Amino acid sequence: MRGFHQLLSFFLLGTTLSLGSPSTHSFKNRETIVAPRGWTRQTVAPADHIISLRIGLHQRNFDLLEKHLYEVSDPTHSRYGEHLSKEEVEDLVAPHSNSLSAVDEWLSEFNLKEDDIARSPAKDWVVLTIPVSLAEKMLNTKYYVWKHGKTGNELVRTTSYSLPSHLDSHIEVVQPTTMFGQFKPAKSMISILETVDTAVNTAISKVAQIITGGNSNLTVDASCNTTITVTCLQQIYNAVGYVPSNSTKNSIGITGYLEQFANIEDLQTFYVAQVPAAVNSSFKFESVAGGINDQSLTKAGSEANLDVQFAFGVAYPIPGTFWSTAGRPPFSADVRTLTNTNEPYGDWLDHVLGLPDPPHSISTSYGDDEQTVPKDYAKRVCAGLAQLGVRGVSVIFSSGDYGVGDGNSDPATQECITNDGLNNTRFIPAFPASCPYVTSVGGTEHIPEVAVSRFYSGGGFSSYFPRPPYQEIAVGGFLSTLPKGLYEGLFNRCGIPDVAAQGDRYRIRYRGRDVSIGGTSASSPAFTGFVALLNDARISVNKRPLGFLNPLLYTAGIAGLNDITSGSNPGCGTNGFNATTGWDPVTGLGTPNFKQLKEIVTSPFLLL
């Protein structure tokens, strides 16, 4: 944005610049919160600290868009597969012209011109990259530096903000204001690294095999009980021998954040060992908001390497895209800074919604504790994910680690306390995995498979989103089996996860060496790789990509999933939930059986 760079230059030169006059409008409080547990107010925020203020305008017809989403994703509906175009989606969610005019007039009061503003593709978000001093005038508030006692992270936030009263019906949300989430870097989703003894695993693989059990009773190399490779996943999930096409009609995407860089040298070495046919192939890189993909071997990210190696390794030769989104909270208040410390997820969502043809399946292994994301903002992000689904994109998230707790500590010592100042005990799900318009993936281990135990699969129930219609039978059935009063008051609503996949002891190449890595951040890209293969199978028989998966998975797709009935996800000082017959909030509906799913999704009964 040219206007931002001009504004920044004025501040750096110490030149006085008018930031607009205080509004003469009466203000209406939009939100006031109690500082979340663990955060302590430090100092007044530096006046020149830069914030990307995201203003969400009211979407006109989201209810209608949701209706379209469920119809085109329901395999029993006559419109199944009739995904909407980018233009059709934008027309549905675009704000009313009155809203656009009212907000633009308000912005002009602060000398903000069109060059100073970025807009989302549907114009339902307005983004202003401005100094704190201007944000305070616009929102009639005061920003402070806040520090988290356990992590040491620092954020620039406020606990209350207001808007001119006449904008109340036009604006749904403004952030960052009250959002104290800590968009988690790799290590919060990944268990410890271990050196892989390749010789031992190779020796084991030559002398032993095991049977998977479950629906398919497949023979699997015994080494897969200690190390997961692409070959292991193909064996466990019944995809051995399937050769996808190199059609440009199909595609798969991986998101990268927080300076997690996907190293191509490591990828090539990984391919030599695990996917020889893919050697000398790579992925398409796209920068979001100035994100880079530093190829210094010492800058390779364990999360990014895991994601691209297994998603693209399973899906090869389906074309892959890796996005790197700039933005790295937290910042240090001890250093004079003009750094934007916002979570970068909204920037990526704006970018991918602006693409005419986004990848058909996208995996994300990052998230937050749901309660740290303000509900109005979480709902708007979730609505953006619905826009992808109705366009034919399968949006897939890891469900988080450390069981039903906050994902930050040992399940035995977690403090699962509500973030509303009441300090009630409650299970804490992950977001965006809790959004009902995405597919969340839990973790399993071993053969036959059980719920992963080294860090525990994230799962439970959303506190923000109502149970979607496709979950009524499966989730309702699970709840009917719980002893009366068990965990009463600790959970409700939309169930997490939807499905699962192997989530531990993945062998990846990282900074020039073989290591073992785990977490549901491994489960999500692996599952997404198989979704890309299913899209390949559909495209090869002239069918459309699957798009939003859940209505299919909870109906016809159940027959293509391996039910996991052993294990649990303890946390918050409890035993959590148990994996059991049917859906459960540990492993969802189960893990994929590719051959059976392929038969289902290419069936002539699925018309499109």
How high is the pLDDT of residue 18? Answer: 42
How high is the pLDDT of residue 284? Answer: 98
* Residues tagged active-site: 303, 307, 521
What's the rounded Cα separation, in Å, for the pair 21 and 537? 60
Number of Cβ within 10 Å of residue 419's Cβ equals: 26
Averaged over successive runs of 10 residues, the pLDDT of the chain (608 residues) comes to: 38 39 76 87 91 93 97 96 98 96 96 90 94 96 91 88 96 92 54 49 52 71 95 97 92 94 98 98 96 96 96 98 80 45 80 97 92 90 97 96 73 73 83 96 95 88 94 94 82 89 95 92 96 97 97 97 96 90 97 98 79
Nearest to 383 by CA among 124, 177, 75, 175: 124
Hey, what's the torsion of the CAs at 243, 246, 250, 255, to 10 degrees? 90
What is the helix (H) or strand (E) element at residue 63, kind and residue range? helix 62-73
Three-state DSSP state, 156? strand
pLDDT in tens, 362-373: 999 998 888 888
What is the helix (H) or strand (E) element at residue 271, kind and residue range? helix 264-274
Furthest-apart CA pair in the chain: how many Å? Answer: 80
pLDDT in tens, 334-386: 443 444 556 678 889 999 999 999 999 999 999 888 888 889 999 999 999 99
Angle (deg, nearest 10), helices 375-390 and 86-93 = 150
326 neighbors 183 (Cβ within 8 angstroms): no
Nearest to 499 by CA among 581, 567, 591, 412: 591
* 268 backbone dihedrals φ, ψ, rounded to 5°: -65, -40
3-class secondary structure for 519-537?
CHHHHHHHHHHHHHHHHHH
Tokens 């986004």 -> residue: 358
- Rounded to the nearest 5 degrees, what angle is found at the Cα of 543, between the Cα atoms of 537 and 549? 75
CATH architecture of the domain 187-601 equals 3-Layer(aba) Sandwich (3.40)
What's the rounded Cα separation, in Å, for the pair 532 and 565? 27
> Residue 528 burial by CB count (10 A; 0-12/13-18/19+): exposed, middle or buried?
buried
What's the rounded Cα separation, in Å, for the pair 225 and 298? 30
The gap from C-alpha 461 to its chain's centroid, in whole angstroms, comes to 16
| Distances 301 to 11, 365, 458 between C-alpha atoms, Å | 34, 13, 22
- Which positions ≥6 away from 209 have C-beta within 8 Å? 219, 220, 221, 222
What does pTM read for this prediction?
A: 0.91
- Which positions ≥6 away from 98 have C-beta within 8 Å? 170
Nearest to 362 by CA among 326, 317, 398: 398
How high is the pLDDT of residue 478? Answer: 93
Tokens 């060059």 -> residue: 115
81 neighbors 72 (Cβ within 8 angstroms): yes
Tokens of 45: 């925020």
What's the rounded Cα separation, in Å, for the pair 219 and 212? 6
> b/e for 85-119, b at 16 or more Cβ within 10 A?
ebeebbebbbbeeebbebbeebbebbebeeebbbe
Phi-psi region of 259 (alpha: psi -120 to 50; beta: other; left: phi over 0): left
Residue length of the chain? 608
What's the rounded Cα separation, in Å, for the pair 297 and 265? 8
Domain ranges of the chain: 2-59+94-180, 187-601
Tokens of 321: 């895209």
* 123 backbone dihedrals φ, ψ, rounded to 5°: 65, 20
Three-state DSSP state, 354? coil
Strand partners, 173: 56
Tokens of 398: 């890891």
- Which positions ≥6 away from 378 have C-beta within 8 Å? 370, 431, 432, 435, 464
Number of Cβ within 10 Å of residue 422's Cβ equals: 9
Tokens of 328: 């790295």
What's the rounded Cα separation, in Å, for the pair 87 and 80? 19
What's the rounded Cα separation, in Å, for the pair 145 and 237? 48
What is the helix (H) or strand (E) element at residue 57, kind and residue range? strand 50-57
Strand partners, 369: 430
Nearest to 234 by CA among 590, 513, 1, 533: 533
Alpha-helical regions (H) of 457-559: 472-481, 520-540, 550-553
